[in-house]
Amino acid sequence: MMKTAIIYSHSATKTVQAAKHIKESYGKPIDDIDVDSLNPNDLKKYDMLILGVPTWFDGELPHYWDELVPAIEDLDLKKQKVAIFGNGDQVGYPENFGDAVGLLAEVFESTGATIVGHTSTQGYTFESSLALRNDKFVGLVLDFENQNKMNKPRIKEWIESID
């Protein structure tokens, strides 16, 4: 059986809400890990990593992920699948909407991990995003501020694509 972990900051309110819906929709055993207590070497214990990351300020990774980047980049994660979900504000920050999803994808791609769960940009309005690859998001980008009602259906569809 595939061993899965969902990793996010347990103190990031909107990411916690998204993670709750993801765990409910996933329907399989999943280890819930607070990124603030993550030992990067533990990532190798899992077949599937579901990572949560809000975009901070003008398109930055939150400090709790940013501080782990050097240790993560030293890992060999060729056997791991990684699905990334994140939060952004397409109205308030249209020029870097969901950038953290793209930044985290780059970190994990550098380890050899396979990124899964690309999603359509249909229904979003923004100027640019580091999460874009071939006209799709490299993960799931949620907008609690402007499209909160779309979160649950988007999560459900995304879970089906990573499973």
Tabulate helix, strand, coil % of the chain (nearest 5).
35, 25, 40
Which tens digit of pLDDT belongs to each residue from 54-94? 999 889 999 999 999 999 999 999 999 999 999 999 999 99
Higher-scoring residue by pLDDT: 115, 163 = 115
The pLDDT of residue 95 is 97
- Residues 101-121: what's their mean pLDDT? 98
The pLDDT of residue 1 is 78
Extents of the domains making up the chain: 1-10+32-134
CATH class of the region 1-10+32-134: alpha beta
pLDDT category at 44 given cuts 50, 70, 90 is very high
Distance, CA of 16 to CA of 74 (rounded, Å): 28
Asked whether 159 and 113 are in contact (CB, 8 A), the reply is no
The pLDDT of residue 129 is 97
The pLDDT of residue 103 is 98
The pLDDT of residue 53 is 98
Is residue 163's pLDDT more than 80? no
Q: Average pLDDT, whole number, for the chain?
A: 96
The pLDDT of residue 65 is 97
Is residue 28's pLDDT more than 80? yes
